[in-house]
Structure 1
Amino acid sequence: MSSRRDFLKLSALTGALSFLLPKAARAAAKINKPIVVSTWEHGMPANQAAWDVLKTGGRALDAVEAGVRIPEADPKVRTVGLGGYPDREGKVTLDACIMDEHMNCGSVAFLQDIKHPISVARKVMENTPHVMLVGEGAKQFALQQGFIEEDLLTAESRADWQQWLQDQQVQMINIENHDTIGMLALDSDGNLSGACTTSGAAYKMHGRVGDSPLIGAGLYVDNEVGAATATGMGELMIKTVGCHLVVELMRQGASPEEACRQAVLRIAKKLGDYAQFQVGFLALNKRGEYGAYCIQSGFNYAVQQQSGAQLIDGKSLLGDKA
């Protein structure tokens, strides 16, 4: 009888251990940190600037701000900051937001004549009781904070706008018309932050604001779970609060790529005619795992970690169906 009881106890203990060991193994797995990821090819030099902060033990918040300032100041990046495509009235209007590990966030929208909206957004976060400032009020605040007013419409962007006025064709936001840079970072302390900045859709209506400055739509960070950012047609991310959705799917156990895929599928199901649009998400979880997914092929994202830098083609809904 004693041996039978011992056998049953051992069987129960073995069963419990077999259930717990996978969880224990996951918990013991090394966290991939520091790491920074960002949308599009212009994320490569942006990531390098962020990595310069992270590799010396710097904070993720400082890294993402430093990173996205690179394309903001590069006139060759035509959809962010200086040299960005103007709206249909020939005005370059900028949107940006930033969010740290403590759920602090700042945002600016419809900002004109200030090259670094991401840094203005951080000043909103740190120096005001507000989350978002827009338009002339955002500009006045920026000037009060010491930012310099300058003309952001380059000769190249002006020429493209004048050409657009002749035919007024709407451009697909994709590899041939890059938009937002969204950046997510996990630092050596295991804390997450994110930033998102853009000049928005080319030749948009004057006054249009997309998802990029909206916390939960174009960017969301939850330091317990992960972070997400978005690219593509902003209105669709706004309608679904897309980045918050991606983070919540990761909270439920989805990997970063799977969370992005589920968010894209939800949007595609609602649209029906989704092949006309581009929507993409990029996510990074608390363990330093990352992934992306989009509707159209052509979306890529940049990764910088201890093992080096790489540009990865995101998986896509239409690509999966090919």
Structure 2
Amino acid sequence: MKHVIHSLGGRGGRRTVLVHGGAGNVAPERRPLHAAGCLRAAREGARVLSEGGSALDAVERAVRVLEDDPLFNAGTGACLNEEGHVELDASIMEGRGLRAGAVCALSEFAEPIAIARAALEDGRHVLYAAHGAARFARMKGFTPVGEAALITEAAREALAAAQQGVRATSWAGNTVGAVALDEGGLTAAATSTGGTVNKRVGRVGDSPLIGAGTYADDEAGAVSTTGHGEGMIRLVVAHSAVERMRAGTCAVDAASGIIAHLAERLDITGGVIALDRTGRFGLARSTATMSWAAVGDWGEESGV
């Protein structure tokens, strides 16, 4: 199948935050809401940078805003598995020491990206799963909110539609993420998701996997992905896009090139946001929509 690749690049600069709200097919009347949600998240990340925070702080904050927004498939409002339960995945990485933290198949906690950040700071392990992730979260002082607090009526409707063979378009249906560059040249990336609607219990996609859904390296850039997780894993999309930037490809061409490769090699759609080590940003999608926003000292942009 021929997939049309849509891409966009920007000049950016130091102190830049770029976010996405998931590649998918949001209904036209809802697209402005998704773009506005992304802009709120990017502005919050940029505020962190302007107040002296690091790129790592900025991507965590931006993704937390998206996790708290029930429009998006992450945290509150995340999609449900085949049994009607929430299983959240998230990862975060900084590009100087290549430190990373991640959680997967996590239930009952509203802030998976913050728990992933705690794993990064703890440093003993990169990835915690299911009950072990919940135990780690409690050990680090996070309080479960209960699954009911995370489930929205839109999520229930999307599950019912999927189980009846109908594709829901009330949200992006995919991951959220952010990449950032700070004044000191630190790059960072973060990704968070509820996974796919009606997924099998215990399914883990690309979002918590370093190199597949999230990657950052100060020598090249930072990437967060969205789309068909199994394909992103098989082509290690985030790391591959960063390696394209390391080789001298600009951020927008790295993003569009890896999405084209995903379509050509596996006939799979998705989206990528990328930020190179100089602050130039790029994004690409092969889906109908991917809400996004970029904010920095140079200004701000957003779209779907």
Does the 8 A contact of 1:96 with 1:213 survive in 2?
Answer: yes
1:145 Cα shift?
Answer: 1.4
Residues 159-238 of structure 1 aligned to structure 2 (within 5 Å)? 159-160=156-157, 163-164=160-161, 167-169=164-166, 176-238=171-233
2:56 counterpart (45, 52, 61): 61
Matches of 2:248 and 2:81, distance apart in 1: 41
Match of 2:74 in 1: 80
1:168 Cα shift?
Answer: 4.0
Does the 8 A contact of 2:88 with 2:104 survive in 1?
Answer: yes
**Residue by residue, what CA displacement relative to the aligned partner does 1:174-199 show, whole Å, maximum 9, x if unpaired?**
x8534211100101111111111111
Report the 3-state secondary structure (helix = DSSP H, G, I; strand = E; otherwise coil) of the residue aligned with 2:289.
coil
Matches of 1:166 and 1:223, distance apart in 2: 43
After superposing on structure 2, the runs of 4+ consecutive aligned residues of structure 1 that deviate more than 4 Å are none
**Residue by residue, what CA displacement relative to the aligned partner does 1:146-194 show, whole Å, maximum 9, x if unpaired?**
111122443414641563376143558xx85342111001011111111
Residues 87-98 of structure 1 aligned to structure 2 (within 5 Å)? 87-98=81-92
Match of 1:32 in 2: 13
Matches of 1:155 and 1:256, distance apart in 2: 36
Indicate how the Cα distance of structure 1 residues 146 and 258 shifts in structure 2: closer, same or farther if over 3 A, else same: same
Does residue 304 in structure 1 map to residue 299 in structure 2? no
Match of 2:254 in 1: 259
Report the 3-state secondary structure (helix = DSSP H, G, I; strand = E; otherwise coil) of the residue aligned with 2:110.
coil
2:283 counterpart (272, 285, 292): 292
Name the stretch that deviates more: 37-46 or 206-215: 37-46
Indicate how the Cα distance of structure 1 residues 136 and 305 shifts in structure 2: closer, same or farther if over 3 A, else same: same
Does the 8 A contact of 1:86 with 1:157 survive in 2?
Answer: no
**Residue by residue, what CA displacement relative to the aligned partner does 1:80-115 show, whole Å, maximum 9, x if unpaired?**
101212111011110000111320000000000011
Indicate how the Cα distance of structure 1 residues 207 and 310 shifts in structure 2: closer, same or farther if over 3 A, else same: same
Match of 2:117 in 1: 122
Matches of 2:196 and 2:279, distance apart in 1: 31
1:281 Cα shift?
Answer: 1.1
1:77 Cα shift?
Answer: 2.2
Q: Which structure 2 residue ranges, 5 or more long, are not aligned?
A: 1-10, 22-34
Matches of 1:129 and 1:259, distance apart in 2: 32
Match of 2:93 in 1: 99
**Alpha-carbon RMSD:** 2.0
Name the stretch that deviates more: 216-225 or 37-46: 37-46
Match of 2:151 in 1: 154
Report the 3-state secondary structure (helix = DSSP H, G, I; strand = E; otherwise coil) of the residue aligned with 1:119.
helix
Indicate how the Cα distance of structure 1 residues 110 and 252 shifts in structure 2: closer, same or farther if over 3 A, else same: same
Does the 8 A contact of 1:171 with 1:202 survive in 2?
Answer: no
Normalized per residue, the structure richer in helix is 1
- Matched length: 277
Name the stretch that deviates more: 40-49 or 218-227: 40-49
Does the 8 A contact of 2:19 with 2:62 survive in 1?
Answer: no
1:307 Cα shift?
Answer: 3.1
Instruction: Provide the TM-score with structure 2 as the length reference.
Output: 0.85
2:273 counterpart (275, 282, 285): 282
Does the 8 A contact of 1:86 with 1:153 survive in 2?
Answer: no
Normalized per residue, the structure richer in strand is 2
Match of 2:243 in 1: 248
Indicate how the Cα distance of structure 1 residues 171 and 206 shifts in structure 2: closer, same or farther if over 3 A, else same: farther
Match of 1:137 in 2: 132
Instruction: Provide the TM-score with structure 1 as the length reference.
Output: 0.81
Does the 8 A contact of 2:245 with 2:276 survive in 1?
Answer: yes
Q: Which structure 1 residue ranges, 5 or more long, are not aligned?
A: 1-29, 314-322
Indicate how the Cα distance of structure 1 residues 225 and 62 shifts in structure 2: closer, same or farther if over 3 A, else same: same
